[in-house]
Structure 1
Amino acid sequence: MIKKLSLLLLIAMLAVVAVACGSNNEKEESGPKKESAKSEEITVKHQLGETKVKTNPEKVVVFDMGTLDTLDKLGVEVAAVPHDGLPEYLSKYEGTTENAGGLKEPDFEKINEIAPDLILISGRQSDAYEELSKIAPTVYVGVDTTKYMESFEENVTLLGKIFGKEKEAAKEFASVEENITALKEKAPTDKKGLIILASGGKVSAYGPDSRFGIIHDVFGVPAVDDKLEVSTHGQSISFEYIAEKDPDYLFVVDRDAVAGDGAAAKKTVENDIVKNTKAYKEGNIVYLDPNYWYLSGGGLESVDSMVKEVSEGIK
């Protein structure tokens, strides 16, 4: 009887030791793998340099509105954005994030206080790149309008990789591409368009490779003038120029609606001179939402909305 009890006790002790060892081994195996996934480091080459970035950053400061748009679509939380200049459809971030300062004047003190893991910027913050890089890894994610779709896809893919959303990013981008294909098939090649920005009673024009040139370069609407100056502010033009070029379609971005005293483009554009154009006579003056076109181009939602607006505007 004593021998039996001793044998049972020995078996029980061995079982406890085996379970404990198995538990420790499991922790040792799963621990490092889990930690590795959290702290993977990638090197990002961008327009302003090369930056080492850790994936799945917890605190992110975003200055580029197109990027904020994409992160919103992918369900990624951000710590801070500039509250001034937010597109209306992203206005919720004013109440859910810290204010990172102005689009051209970052609040360095606030950003230092936040101690972010990553800062994402574009053209308006280029001059502050070095200063921001001293605070945290900083990456330029502005869209290159001379190769819009390639640049747009690169940014979406990069964001998907950084935040562990590769599949979601690829799926959303594919959906945008599908809508673009449908638009290109619909766009009339025998009718030409002109893109203008209306601001303070004046107008400037944009052609291929410009910030709004996606209409010509990607959507397939031929330009009425392919020699327009390519610049951020466009080429200053007169209403007589519009009448002279006589576009079939006139695409209008109203800057005043988002950065002025309110929508005023219709009153500015539809004057006696422009009323003589084919675009006016045929009802083809298309007013584009400046929230997407002026504030946040290059985002998953903004580009898709831009496609839909042009698709609905052409006949």
Structure 2
Amino acid sequence: MKKSLSMIVMLIVLTMVIAACGNSNSANNGTANNGSANNGANNSAANSGAANQNNTEDNNASGTIKVSHQLGETDVPLNPGKVVVFDFGVLDTLDRLGVEAVTAVPQDSLPSYLSKYAGSEYANAGGLKEPDFETIDGVEPDLIIISGRQSDSYEEFTKIAPTIFMGVDTANYMESFTSNVETLAQIFGKETEAAAELEKINTVIENVKAEVAKSDKKGLILLSNEGKISAYGPGSRFGLIHDVLGVPAVDEGLEVSTHGNEVTFEYVAEKNPGYLFVIDRTAAVGGEGNASSTLDNEFVKTTDAFKDGKIAYLDPEYWYLSGGGLVSVEKMVTDIEAALK
């Protein structure tokens, strides 16, 4: 009987030990499973962090750039989807860089080389000096770009959208032009394309400067407008002929003025320029007469420029209507290059 009782006790103890071992293994397995779950959670957190980092980069890529300009400082959205452009030099730069965000332009004054922007897919932003604010507001632009002719309306533009002034500083033409191009390139993500275009223009400029250095002729710049003429010198809106390309000015004392210095044909004869560079405003904007008939007189015929066949009629669309763009500056420089030959 005692032997049987002992056997029963041993069986009970053995059963309890086996049960305890089973619980221990289950607990260990549970710990391992929890560890796997924790690792999964950590991996999910890591993946979530990577996703957040990508979002941050995306947000930075679609953020803003602060642009300092003549009229103030403006936070400009990167890669804006809708842009109103009033400066034709800026317009031809955007066109050359392949930017397709232009939404509205002043269509009535467009140079012919930018005539595609007269299409119905673009809104008419009004006149260069009389913007159509209702139309501009209606297109809901992300950015408005203006220059000198619209500067008085700057505050009105800023009520509609971020607005930047991108007129060229004629006293520092190439520096200002280059800065404008690089700013536009940064806004629209076209830095590589812009650098290549600027390099090409600078190469042409150096070639022209080398040609200028071979001659001792001095030049005079005239704007012809319905039978009247105005003279421009260094630092003026057309002064890159002197300041950048190095053509010596026949008159260093001309006042820097948007409208130039009104002069007579006697003045032209007295100064006797070796080069006469003529911009026909009438041909650009319409009106009576033309520059060649205006300059067809006895005073001009006494000049060395006339005698040597060095009167150059420059393309008024590039020189008068636009200027300051990748297309127009290149054309302006090659105009002078042709005049020197």
Query: CA shift at 1:229, angstroms?
Result: 1.4
1:112 equivalent to 2:137? Answer yes
SS in 2 for 1:53: strand
Partner of 1:300 in structure 2? 326
Question: 1:45-64 deviations in whole A, cap 9, x for unaligned?
Answer: 11011111111111000001
Q: Structure 1: how far apart are the matches of 2:186 and 2:285?
A: 33
Pairing partner for 2:219 from 157, 179, 193: 193
SS in 2 for 1:306: helix
Alpha carbons 2:227, 2:289 under 8 Å: kept: no
Query: CA shift at 1:258, angstroms?
Result: 1.3
One-letter amino acid of the structure 1 residue matched with residue 87 of structure 2: D
Partner of 1:278 in structure 2? 304
Alpha carbons 1:119, 1:136 under 8 Å: kept: yes
Q: Structure 2: how far apart are the matches of 1:130 and 1:276?
A: 51
Where in structure 2 are the equivalents of 1:60-209 lying within 5 Å? 60-77=83-100, 78-95=102-119, 96-187=121-212, 188-209=214-235
Q: Structure 2: how far apart are the matches of 1:262 and 1:36?
A: 54
Question: 1:61-114 deviations in whole A, cap 9, x for unaligned?
Answer: 000111001101101120111001111100110104111111001111011111
Where in structure 2 are the equivalents of 1:226-241 lying within 5 Å? 226-241=252-267
Q: Structure 1: how far apart are the matches of 2:47 and 2:122?
A: 41
One-letter amino acid of the structure 2 residue matched with residue 165 of structure 1: K
Query: CA shift at 1:270, angstroms?
Result: 2.0
User: In angstroms, what is the RMSD of aligned CA positions?
Assistant: 1.9
Structure 1: runs of 5 or more not aligned? 1-9
One-letter amino acid of the structure 2 residue matched with residue 222 of structure 1: P
Query: CA shift at 1:30, angstroms?
Result: 3.1
Q: Structure 2: how far apart are the matches of 1:189 and 1:224?
A: 14
Q: Structure 1: how far apart are the matches of 2:187 and 2:67?
A: 10
Using structure 2 for the length normalisation, give the TM-score.
0.84
Partner of 2:20 in structure 1? none
Query: CA shift at 1:260, angstroms?
Result: 1.6
Give the number of equivalent residue pairs.
300
Query: CA shift at 1:31, angstroms?
Result: 3.3
Partner of 1:242 in structure 2? 268
Partner of 1:52 in structure 2? 75
- Gap change, CA 1:79 and 1:160, over 3 Å in 2: same
Where in structure 2 are the equivalents of 1:216-235 lying within 5 Å? 216-235=242-261
Q: Structure 1: how far apart are the matches of 2:198 and 2:279?
A: 24
Query: CA shift at 1:166, angstroms?
Result: 1.0
Q: Structure 2: how far apart are the matches of 1:24 and 1:277?
A: 78
Question: 1:135-194 deviations in whole A, cap 9, x for unaligned?
Answer: 111100000000001101110110011111111111111110111001000114411000
Query: CA shift at 1:26, angstroms?
Result: 6.1
Using structure 1 for the length normalisation, give the TM-score.
0.91
Alpha carbons 1:254, 1:263 under 8 Å: kept: no
Query: CA shift at 1:276, angstroms?
Result: 1.2
Alpha carbons 1:212, 1:293 under 8 Å: kept: yes
Alpha carbons 2:231, 2:260 under 8 Å: kept: yes
